[in-house]
Structure 1
Amino acid sequence: MTADVGARRVAARPRIDLTVFLARYGTLLSLVALLIVFSIARPDVFPTVDNLLNIMNQISILGTMAFGLTVCLVMGLFDLSIAAMATLGGYIATFLLVQYPDTISVPVAVAIALGVAAAIGVMNGLIVSYLGISAFIATLATGSIITGAVLGISDSKTIITGIPDAFMAIGQGAIILGVANPILIMLGVGLVLWLMLEHTQLGRHLYAIGGNAEASRLSGIAVKRYAPFALAVCAVCAGLGGLMSAAVLGAGRPQGVGDGYLLNAFAAVFIGASSLRPGKFHILGTMIGVLLIGVINNGLSVMGVPTYWQYIVQGLLLIAALFSAGVLTMRRR
């Protein structure tokens, strides 16, 4: 009898499920492994403080945009207008500062640019919520309209002169301990959105709607009010990313600013959804995804690997991340 009880206790002890462990922590372990491999391959360059800060600076715009996109994806909304929104944000700010240098200051220009982005995001949300149009289609259409409008207003000309130094300091300055301002902006945005999603009722409602919109509605949540908010947050983050890009380059480009960030932002968020909490979009996971992309790009560049390999590796990594999250979801069923 005693032996049977002991056997049952041994059998009842939880055993480590390797599949679940890898699905949950595989992406983070991959990031650590890449850091070690690149540090060993180029110990004179890669593991230096300057290069690590350089990586953070390189991913700052992508991270800022990806954090905003995370809020949308938490609700199951795909925002394809973020590329055009980034272009719009940077162009509006530089246009206002150059055209009205005596009346519009840098903070005002930034506020107007982000305000326009927020208004467009709210409009997208209203279309999705009250007209029943898919966010995928609505934001794709909005992005096309924005692209055409900016090209028309700018006459396809890039603003390269007259941009004040105070604006360029947003992308080129370093206020605290030599850490570039774009890094601080990215971390600040990430912290605010993490607190919102993880520690407020608003964040809990966003997750609930993303999990089951009908059940959320029946529980008393005003579901239709949340899409405008989520898409506005995403639009503001995209516009802020465009502002940072314009400040880094010292130019207001009327096209192509956000195109290079669109797919990488989605890749970072989906890679992050396979980290720590597989199948669930969250800010910390997105940060891991952004870091992974940044480390891969920087490490391969430092080693002299052709650029096209960076795209191949990112694609393979995204497939692996989605596969691992899918495996854990199936195991839970």
Structure 2
Amino acid sequence: MNDTVKAKSNALPAINLSKWAPLIALITLIILSALASEHFLIPRNITNVLRQVSYTGIIALGMTFLIIAGGIDLSVGSMVALIGVLVLMLLNYLGDSWLAVFIAISAAMAIGAILGAINGLLTTKGKITAFVATLATMSIFRSLTLYISDAGEMVSSNSHYPDIGGGYILGIPIPVWVFFSLAAIGHILLRHTAFGRHVCAVGSNAKVATYSAINVTRVYFYTFVIVGFTVGLSAVMLSSRLNSISPGDAGLFYELDAIAAVVIGGTALSGGKGTLWGTVIGAIILGIINNMLNLIGVSPYLQGAVKGLVIIIAVLMQFKRDR
């Protein structure tokens, strides 16, 4: 019996492969992509992939908090368009200066937080399920965007604004820096603060969280505000990169990409658990898939189908892990 106990104590700790599944999938995808196309590992191509995923990736970071708390937001794409139009209108009104850019960026984050708060109030005070509430605001936000802009493309007249989304720091695009910096801050908030623990508790079991003296309504509401804040940042990065916003197309299907990144990164759709770095990996995986399909000449009409299959596989893997 003593020998058995000793053998067990000397055994190597079991490796939780499901925890590392997104990273393993990313490494495998990079290797396959490098073998499939000689152009994949070109620094400019990698930079472009990271820039493209940063727009939806920033939103996905906020979405991670909301999904862990047991919610979802389908309005983020329309929100990007609305914030983008409002910010460019404000920017053109304030004139051609760096102060105007600073005010516009601050306004974008504030407007995003307010729109997120509206979704939060509809679900917490209005007692409407998150899916239905954000489905409604998705339509409302897009309609307001088209009305305010008269369905015409909004262009910035500020000469400094394109330097935000189109600029580089140490050879890396600014949106990529924002994406990874926000991921680091979000990781600290989720893993090393009481708020982060409360978010996980609310998503795991709201009733138990209530019995543990956690203000479930407030925590759930704040996760919507976080999503709105990240949408505001994404709208700035996108509109400054293009120096314009198309009210009908801006942010289209961003909600799908953001949710897909969260799910592929290992966050449970049922709530209660997830990681910010998993979401980062999920966003990069989606970006690499889109990039490889373009490099090998796959029709763009089939890219949505591939993305849908990836989401289905990720959800099925979650289901098998939870059984």
TM-score of the two chains, using structure 1 as the length reference? 0.88
Contact 2:204–2:272 (8 Å) recurs in 1: no
Q: Distance in 2 between matches of 1:227 and 1:41?
A: 44
State which of 98, 102, 106 in structure 1 corresponds to 2:101. Answer: 106
Q: Which residue of 2 aligns with 1:171?
A: 165
AA paired with 2:260?
A
Secondary structure of 1:165's counterpart equals: coil
AA paired with 1:315?
G
Matches within 5 A, 1:213-292: 213-273=206-266, 280-292=273-285
Quick one: structure 1 residues 8 and 129, their matched pair in 2 at CA, closer, same or farther if it must change by over 3 Å?
same
State which of 307, 310, 320 in structure 2 corresponds to 1:317. Answer: 310
Q: Which residue of 1 aligns with 2:26?
A: 31
Q: Distance in 2 between matches of 1:244 and 1:141?
A: 26
Give how far 1:320 is off.
Answer: 1.6
Matches within 5 A, 1:95-244: 95-101=89-95, 105-160=100-155, 162-174=156-168, 176-244=169-237
Contact 2:56–2:258 (8 Å) recurs in 1: yes
Q: Distance in 1 between matches of 2:245 and 2:290?
A: 26
Give how far 1:311 is off.
Answer: 2.3
Contact 1:90–1:243 (8 Å) recurs in 2: yes
Quick one: structure 1 residues 6 and 122, their matched pair in 2 at CA, closer, same or farther if it must change by over 3 Å?
same
Map Cα deviations across residues 179-201 of structure 1 (whole Å, 9 max, x no partner): 11111111122111111111111
Give how far 1:270 is off.
Answer: 0.7
Quick one: structure 1 residues 310 and 150, their matched pair in 2 at CA, closer, same or farther if it must change by over 3 Å?
closer
State which of 58, 63, 68 in structure 1 corresponds to 2:62. Answer: 68
AA paired with 1:215?
V
Quick one: structure 1 residues 184 and 7, their matched pair in 2 at CA, closer, same or farther if it must change by over 3 Å?
closer
Secondary structure of 1:258's counterpart equals: coil
Q: Distance in 2 between matches of 1:130 and 1:177?
A: 46
Q: Which residue of 1 aligns with 2:82?
A: 88
**Percent sequence identity over matched residues?**
32
AA paired with 1:201?
A
Q: Distance in 1 between matches of 2:129 and 2:154?
A: 35
Give how far 1:274 is off.
Answer: 5.9
State which of 283, 294, 300 in structure 1 corresponds to 2:287. Answer: 294
Contact 1:68–1:233 (8 Å) recurs in 2: yes
Q: Distance in 1 between matches of 2:8 and 2:192?
A: 38
AA paired with 1:75?
A
More displaced stretch, 74-83 vs 106-115: 106-115
Give how far 1:131 is off.
Answer: 2.4
Give how far 1:213 is off.
Answer: 0.7
AA paired with 1:35?
I
Aligned residues: 320
State which of 73, 76, 80 in structure 2 corresponds to 1:79. Answer: 73
RMSD over aligned Cα atoms: 2.4
Q: Distance in 1 between matches of 2:5 and 2:184?
A: 46
Map Cα deviations across residues 291-325 of structure 1 (whole Å, 9 max, x no partner): 11011111221222222343232222222211111
Give how far 1:234 is off.
Answer: 0.2
Q: Distance in 2 between matches of 1:49 and 1:214?
A: 50
Contact 2:73–2:255 (8 Å) recurs in 1: no
Give how far 1:8 is off.
Answer: 6.9
Uncovered stretches (5+) of structure 1, i.e. residues with no partner: none
Map Cα deviations across residues 73-118 of structure 1 (whole Å, 9 max, x no partner): 1111111110111111211111111233279711111212221221
Contact 1:75–1:210 (8 Å) recurs in 2: yes
Q: Which residue of 1 aligns with 2:322?
A: 329
Give how far 1:13 is off.
Answer: 7.4
TM-score of the two chains, using structure 2 as the length reference? 0.91
Q: Distance in 2 between matches of 1:6 and 1:228?
A: 55
Quick one: structure 1 residues 224 and 49, their matched pair in 2 at CA, closer, same or farther if it must change by over 3 Å?
same
Map Cα deviations across residues 223-247 of structure 1 (whole Å, 9 max, x no partner): 1111221101101111221221111
